Amino acid sequence: MCELLGMSANTPTDIVFSFSGLMQRGGKTGPHSDGWGIAFYEGKGVREFRDPNPSCDSEIADLVCRYPIKSTIVISHIRQANAGRIALENTHPFTRELWGKYWTFAHNGQLKGIKKSPLQHYFPVGTTDSEYAFCRIMDQLRERFPKPPKRVSTLQRFIWKLCDELRELGVFNMLLTDSRYLYCYCSTRLTWITRRAPFDQASLKDADITVDFARETTVNDIVTIVATAPLTIDEDWHPLQPGEMVVFDNGELTKPLMNRIKKDLCKKSE
């Protein structure tokens, strides 16, 4: 399967450390050699890089590692093709506009029968079930909310509902953002970690790289990294449960969804 990488931070931060580990899984330490992509938000704009070649030996990926682009929201993806040929148009992440914002999406999994769902406003350019699912989500958001809902929690709950429905078609691990909130939905496997003061050092699993975050950050920095599997060997990552969604805002978990998660956990323990 593919692998996902996301970042939410309260101050513009580069993702070079985490991306350096992920890119090794794209054909070197992992089988995900069918393309990769990454999207950085700069205000309302998106800076994107995609390549249908393996990330482990991609000159474009090397450029991203050498050029520390700073952002508060990042979504990245390395692909192991199972639906749709290896091609640039089938390379994640995908981007569409809604309510004057660029939305970006990346998916890990397969969705049987997704292309039977009708589309009204958004249509895929490539042939993946992932891009079709993204168009389906955007269609339903536009139909349900012609204008952005006043309460953020209303939107978050609706997106969670859409993810639950897509999960019924197969495996649906995904990252989604509207330039501010990072939505993370788990179908089978997704993990996250939040780094804040006091910062410590960390070492990558897939590359001989160690970083002392205390030297690279300030005491006010909050940075959350989301990945399919933990990227470091000396940190405690938090696995999401199947059917669980979390949303990060400036590196922090949003409270409305945390309250729902706590209620769901209580019900499961009864």
Catalytic residue among 2, 56, 135, 163: 2
**Phi-psi category of residue 179: left, alpha or beta, with phi > 0 → left and psi -120 to 50 → alpha:** left
Q: Supply angle C-alpha 246, 251, 253, rounded to 5.
A: 35
d(CA 173, CA 94) in angstroms, rounded, equals 15
Pair of tokens at residue 171: 């495996």
Cα torsion through 248, 249, 251, 256, rounded to 10: -50
d(CA 88, CA 262) in angstroms, rounded, equals 41
d(CA 99, CA 147) in angstroms, rounded, equals 7
Q: How many CB atoms lie within 10 A of CB 177?
A: 29
- Give Cα 165 to chain centroid, integer Å: 19
Nearest one of 164, 107, 155, 157 to 132, comparing CA atoms: 107
Q: Are 79 and 27 in contact (CB under 8 A)?
A: no
- For helices 129-144 and 152-167, angle between their N-to-C axes, nearest 10 degrees: 140
Specify whether 135 is catalytic.
Answer: no
- For the annotated catalytic residues, the residue numbers are 2
